[in-house]
Amino acid sequence: MTVLDNIQLSAFYTLLTLWMLGALVTAQSPPHLCDECQCEPNREAPVTVNCMCDQKNLLIFQDHYTDAMVNATHLNISSCTFLSLPVAGFGRAPRLHYVEIKNLKLFHLVPNVFPNLKRLYIDNVKELILNSFTGLPGFESLIILRSKMNELSTDSFHSISTLKEIILNQVYIGKILSHGVDADFGDEDLTGEDEGRGTSFSIQSSKISEIDSNALNIVNLRLFQMINSTVETIKENGLNISSNTVNIISNRFGTLLSNQSFIFSANYIQINFNEFHYLPNNILNSIYTPNKVNFLHNIIFDLDLGGFLLNLDFYFVNFKYNKILCNCAPNKVSYLKLNHNFPGIQINNETELIVDNFCLSHDQISLYLFKQYLINGTMCSGDVVLNDNLSDGTTETDNLIEDSSPQMGHNPSQSVISGGSAALERRGALEVMVALIVLCLSVRCLRY
């Protein structure tokens, strides 16, 4: 046997040995779900898959990994710097109904990556990108906590009638674009035993910089609620909600750009304990309900008092215990002195409106008492303007609303300055002119 033959034979036995060792290792080791992470149980056909990174590693699912998840029902992914899901999605995992994503720097959910999804839970994602939830026939629950979305794009939520709950809690959204949420949940007029069913949409402790025109068009909900949240800007038709119940509680609103910034149609509507930087005159006329709307305990910084109250349908709005920035602006003074300057004019429910609502000042005097001070000349009697400030216990607005309110003394009587008969006559003439303009703009005050 030649030297060449010996070399070839040695190489053959070496390759044979390596092949046998590889086969033995393969026989003893089940296929891995992924090689760039730690997934447990890391075996074929698990029921629950838990994948965790150490904030440095990548988590990359290749398409062939999904073959090992044919019986998986739950997928939990956490603590990854970068997550790459299979291009073809998890269509080969028909039982994968529950997905939990936690503690990621970036998560980009592309359409149909989880075609059999029932529940998606997202918590603490630094940058969340949602493209579309369209085409998920079994999708029932979406919960997003402590996450940031720079933008909710058009058609992010479209044809999602199967959803039963949507919860956004401690979520920051830079902008919701037009038609970002378009959905009809078909739960109109739920009563009695059916009232507990249907879909709820909840925004809690969150901040939204801008809601574009026609951004949220949601029809036939069981419950829509926005609680303890901040919205800087709402454009026309920004919130167009049809629901059995609407609760807008303890929020801070910056600029409402239109009388139709929000349009609510519901059986029960609560708008209470909110702060409004600016409230348009006819904003409550875009609310439709067979019952009385509760508009209670709100703080309103900028309000055309005359235009607002003259357009308020008192029989359908329970407008009480609100605090309004009072000053000597003609649009406030002229309304409160209207039936004093024109005794024949009767304003419906004026007494209830001004007795049960208050000035936003240290003493929080009622509008009724403010009116009496105006009439007897102890306020706004000269060139001195009555200014209000927040009471000591009022909270900040988290940079949403700049505190531009001038200072005012703690006692209304300290603002009493007699301006002389000439000043009174000049101001009286101005008030008469403004009152006539108000009368021309609103015929609703001409009721006897």
pLDDT computed for residue 5 by the predictor: 56
Rounded CA-CA distance 226/246 in Å is 8
Report how far apart the first and last C-alpha atoms of the chain are (Å, whole number).
Answer: 127
DSSP letters, 304-326, are -HHHHHHH--TTTEEEES-EE--
| One-letter amino acid of 52 | M
CA 331 vs CA 257, 359, 415, 436: distances in Å: 19, 15, 20, 11
8 A C-beta contact, residue 156 and residue 180: yes
pLDDT computed for residue 269 by the predictor: 97
Rounded CA-CA distance 104/308 in Å is 47
Rounded CA-CA distance 145/168 in Å is 6
Rounded CA-CA distance 320/305 in Å is 14
Point out the residues of the chain with pLDDT beneath 70.
Answer: 1-46, 54-56, 187-197, 339, 342, 344-351, 362, 381-448
pLDDT computed for residue 251 by the predictor: 98
pLDDT computed for residue 169 by the predictor: 98
Rounded CA-CA distance 4/1 in Å is 8
Read off the tokens for 247: 């609760």
Read off the tokens for 195: 């009232």
pLDDT computed for residue 246 by the predictor: 97
